[in-house]
Structure 1
Amino acid sequence: MKKARSKEKPEPLKRRIKRWALRTLGVLVALPVVLTLLYTVVPPYSSLMLLRTVTGQPVWREWVPLEEISVNLQRSVVVSEDATFCKHGGVDWSAVRGQVGKLFEGKRPRGASTITMQVAKNLFLWNDRDYVRKVLEVPLAMLLDTVLSKRRVLEIYLNVAEWGPGIFGAEAASRTFFGKSAAKLSATQASLLATALPNPIARNPAKPSSGHRRLAGINRSRAQVAGDVLSCISATER
């Protein structure tokens, strides 16, 4: 008489959940690495651009290489958003420590986001301001700085930054607000665009408020005396 084959016991639910969670975590860790490598040669879309596209909202972005974006705008944006862009490794740790100190003092932390951290947010994360997103920006920014050149990071930033509802990148912004290509922006126009970035929905570079004009004037003055804030980008690459 043949013995009945013993049936395999089903895998415990707890183990299956653990295996699924580990696989999901592996994908989440690997995806930014794979995409970052891809973005060394492929023009990326930001998460906000993708969200607007899938929800049927208009998106205007014309990708242009860095050499077709006025040095005036490059300087103005770096001075406004990340004056130590060429000196840090994706994260300005001194600025981060200062903001953490403010947090422990009960003050509201502000700033500390480098251009590289903003690129990490634009490409991989969401726009809502919360501490979880800020923490995630740090390793992602370090990854971007390791894989991409400073030139490529700035090029991506200037092509995915939001300058108004559905208006992304320097070329679309320049043509929308000033009717010219990004390569032909004057120092004044560049400063107006750079200082619109912190609040692109409320600030119109073509019709700046008195406060916006004041910020742009400060930015232009700083850009004139800031030295070579683009030293990590060779002259031939500009």
Structure 2
Amino acid sequence: MWRYFKAQRRGKTWRSLVVMTGLFGLAGVSHAVPSFDEVRGEHRSSETLLLSREGEELQRLRTDSTVRRGPWVGLADISPALRTALVLSEDKRFYEHSGVDWAAVSSAAWGNLWNSRTRGASTITMQLAGLLDGDWRQGAGGRSVVQKLGQAVAAQVLDRRWRKDQILEAYLNMVPFRGEIVGIDALAQSLFGKAPHGL
């Protein structure tokens, strides 16, 4: 009988240790979230622009063959209709929540529990957290519980430190669309031959 209680106590100790380690790791998330200016400053286009003496664009040359990413585009230079459509399709309560949409999380958890079709609850801010830090990105086997918690914590930190328009702007510039296309400028130029304000 004594061995049973000793084994149970040892199991609880290990679980507590794992949980505490995870919580301390998540506490470091708030220090790891970069500023909006840092993210915008580190953005690199996969193309080089050739300009005339007058500053007019003559040609775009692709200098990075691994990805197709255009220059950073300010939110004011992106079609309002496109911004609205994206928010409605990806995160309809984007302007109401603080990085995590708890109503969507509970709805997804309930749906995943009782239905065979799973659905996600990641907000635009949570997706941006995953784009900013590879630790929170979804792998081939999905995200672990620690990754999901870390992404949620990072999203709440982002929401406190950044304005909503900055979150949306960074997301639109960093989100992978299909294949090698990353960001709204590359999408607009590659698929439609237009600038993002023309979509």
Give the TM interval when normalised to the shorter protein.
0.5 to 0.7
Change in CA separation of 1:170 and 1:60 when aligned onto 2, cut-off 3 Å: same
Whole-Å Cα distance in 1 between the matches of residues 102 and 126 of structure 2? 12
List per-residue Cα deviations over 1:23-82 (Å, max 9, x = no partner). Answer: xx66x754x434534334541769xx9xxxxxx723423211110111111011001101
Give the aligned length. Answer: 153
The residue aligned with 1:147 is 161
List per-residue Cα deviations over 1:144-201 (Å, max 9, x = no partner). Answer: 111111010000110001122221111111000110100111xxxxxxxxxxxxxxxx
Change in CA separation of 1:35 and 1:155 when aligned onto 2, cut-off 3 Å: farther
User: Pick from 106, 114, 117: which aligns with 2:123?
Assistant: 114
Can you give the 5+ residue segments of structure 2 that lack an aligned partner in the other structure? Answer: 1-20, 47-64
Q: TM-score, normalised by structure 2?
A: 0.66
Change in CA separation of 1:34 and 1:63 when aligned onto 2, cut-off 3 Å: farther
Whole-Å Cα distance in 1 between the matches of residues 132 and 75 of structure 2? 18
Query: Are the equivalent residues in 2 in contact too, given 1:158–1:170 (CA < 8 A)?
Result: yes
1:101, CA displacement in angstroms?
Answer: 2.0
Residue 166 (str. 1) matches residue 163 (str. 2): no
The residue aligned with 1:130 is 143
The residue aligned with 1:79 is 88
Query: Are the equivalent residues in 1 in contact too, given 2:33–2:154 (CA < 8 A)?
Result: no
Q: TM-score, normalised by structure 1?
A: 0.56
Change in CA separation of 1:102 and 1:42 when aligned onto 2, cut-off 3 Å: closer
Secondary structure, aligned partner of 2:40: coil
Q: What is the root-mean-square deviation of aligned Cα atoms in Å?
A: 2.7
Change in CA separation of 1:61 and 1:184 when aligned onto 2, cut-off 3 Å: same
The residue aligned with 1:199 is none
Whole-Å Cα distance in 1 between the matches of residues 182 and 195 of structure 2? 14
Q: Report which stretch shifted further, 33-42 or 147-156.
A: 33-42
Structure ID, larger Rg: 1
Give identity over the alignment, percent. Answer: 34
Secondary structure, aligned partner of 1:165: coil
The equivalences for 1:1-238 within 5 A come to: 29-30=27-28, 32-43=29-40, 57-105=66-114, 107-124=116-133, 125-128=136-139, 129-132=142-145, 133-185=147-199
Secondary structure, aligned partner of 2:137: coil
Whole-Å Cα distance in 1 between the matches of residues 189 and 155 of structure 2? 30
Q: Which has the higher strand share?
A: 2
Change in CA separation of 1:111 and 1:160 when aligned onto 2, cut-off 3 Å: same
Change in CA separation of 1:45 and 1:114 when aligned onto 2, cut-off 3 Å: farther
Can you give the 5+ residue segments of structure 1 that lack an aligned partner in the other structure? Answer: 1-21, 50-55, 186-238
Query: Are the equivalent residues in 2 in contact too, given 1:90–1:145 (CA < 8 A)?
Result: yes
Change in CA separation of 1:112 and 1:42 when aligned onto 2, cut-off 3 Å: closer
Secondary structure, aligned partner of 1:43: helix
1:93, CA displacement in angstroms?
Answer: 0.5
* Structure 1 letter corresponding to 2:198: K
Change in CA separation of 1:95 and 1:110 when aligned onto 2, cut-off 3 Å: same
1:99, CA displacement in angstroms?
Answer: 1.7
